[in-house]
Amino acid sequence: MVVLLKKIYNGYQFIMETAGADPRTRDWPLVAKPAHGLCILGLYLMFVLKWGPRWMKNRPAYNVDKAMIVYNFIQVVLCTYVFIEALWYAWGWNNNFACSVDYSNDYKAIRAAEAVYHYYLLKYLDLFDTVFFILRKKFNQASFLHLFHHFNVVIMGWAAITFLPGLQKRP
């Protein structure tokens, strides 16, 4: 068992430190270690599946309409910003999508990585959709597919910002 754990640890070190993780994004919050994001996702699932329904069991549904309006406005503004960022940095410089990722410290490559990071952070904000379902006692809307989607989008966002952020190199 100790040998297996050591091999897993060495594999993790190889992937995160030597082979794959982008050194430009390694120190950004929620990117450095997968455990940070997994901890947030674990708390999210615990609230949505156990703590929230148990807490709301004998309570009336909360009226979170005003909070949802503010939340949705913030989402629209931030998603529009990320969309414009993505358009500007992905297509604004005639990006070549057939080549490898540009890991340089070029201004455009860094800004594109930041756009991917902003998208990734928005996926954490998206988790509040489900929290609102629970607080409104709309448990049926927190379906397996909904939870699976939100969980996996955060995981894929982490993988993108950790291993493949930014522009494609031009030949």
Whole-model pTM? Answer: 0.83
- Predicted pLDDT of residue 27: 83
- Per residue, the 3-state secondary structure of the chain, as one string, reads CHHHHHHHHHHHHHHHHHHCCCCCCCCCCCCCCHHHHHHHHHHHHHHHHHHHHHHHCCCCCCCCHHHHHHHHHHHHHHHHHHHHHHHHHHHCCCCCCCCCECCCCCHHHHHHHHHHHHHHHHHHHCCHHHHHHHHCCCHHHCCHHHHHHHHHHHHHHHHHHHHCCCCECCC
149 labelled catalytic: yes
Mean pLDDT by 10 residues, the chain (171 residues): 80 68 83 87 95 94 94 96 84 60 75 88 95 93 93 92 72 53
Residue 17 lies in a domain: no
Residue 155 lies in a domain: yes
Of the residues 36, 146, 149, 150, only one is catalytic, namely: 149
Residue 171 lies in a domain: no
Structural domain total, the chain: 1
Residue 102 lies in a domain: yes
Residue 10 lies in a domain: no
Residue 43 lies in a domain: yes
- Predicted pLDDT of residue 128: 95
Residue 16 lies in a domain: no
User: Residue 75 sits in which domain range?
Assistant: 23-163
